[in-house]
């Protein structure tokens, strides 16, 4: 979001990504370990996207881009390792790769990426946003049993999907500026 004309829209993206990251921190209170782990990775992505979306008027120092690339490179390696147990971790790998890609471009002072690579990432995240959006459509659910506790904030599937949708839209917005 460091391209020309990224003022107020950049700040809106910062707010969206930071709010998403904050909600993902709340999701880390889930009773299910896998949900906690996933929420932690998504919180990192949300806050990282917020930091990278700050408009150019308040741009971070040049060394910060290398730190972003290193952090998301490590997150990508963790996602690659986790993908051994489930293919759903591959989305985290693609997201981390996109963040490294954008950080490397920004570290080099460039706002123009490799057109084919940027296009592939745009197609991927467009498909992801559309797919995730369709999964938010309500379906009839059975009423919970009498003694089953209501799910906590960390266990609400529809909120987790909305969080992922927000981050996908944010990633699209960031990639469109390249």
With H, G, I as helix, E, B as strand and everything else as coil, classify residue 144. coil
Angle of helix 33-52 relative to helix 7-27, nearest 10 degrees, comes to: 160
* Continuous H helices in the chain: 7-27, 33-52, 62-82, 90-107, 115-134, 157-176
89-141 per-position pLDDT tens digit:
899 999 999 999 999 998 887 778 899 999 999 999 999 999 999 988 776 55
- Reported as a pLDDT band with limits 50, 70 and 90, residue 158 is confident
With H, G, I as helix, E, B as strand and everything else as coil, classify residue 43. helix
56-85 per-position pLDDT tens digit:
778 788 899 999 999 999 999 999 998 898
pLDDT at position 147 is: 61
The pTM of this model reads 0.85
End-to-end CA distance of the chain: 8
Q: Of 157, 167, 33, whose CA–CA distance to 95 is shortest?
A: 167
pLDDT at position 35 is: 83
């Amino acid at each position: 979001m460091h391209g020309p004309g990224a003022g107020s829209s950049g700040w809106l993206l910062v707010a969206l990504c930071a709010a998403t990251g904050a909600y993902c921190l709340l999701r880390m209170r889930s009773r299910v370990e896998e949900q906690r782990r996933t929420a932690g990775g998504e919180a990192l992505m949300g806050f990282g996207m917020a930091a990278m979306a700050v408009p150019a008027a308040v741009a971070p120092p040049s060394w910060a881009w290398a730190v972003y690339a290193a952090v998301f490179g490590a997150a990508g390696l963790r996602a690659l390792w986790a993908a051994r147990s489930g293919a759903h971790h591959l989305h985290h790998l693609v997201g981390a790769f996109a963040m490294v890609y954008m950080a490397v471009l920004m570290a080099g002072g460039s706002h123009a990426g490799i057109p084919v690579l940027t296009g592939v990432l745009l197609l991927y995240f467009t498909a992801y946003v559309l797919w995730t959006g369709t999964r938010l459509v309500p379906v009839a659910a059975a009423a919970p049993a009498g003694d089953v506790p209501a799910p906590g904030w960390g266990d609400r599937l529809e909120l987790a999907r909305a969080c992922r949708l927000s981050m996908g839209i944010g990633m699209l917005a960031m990639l469109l500026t390249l």
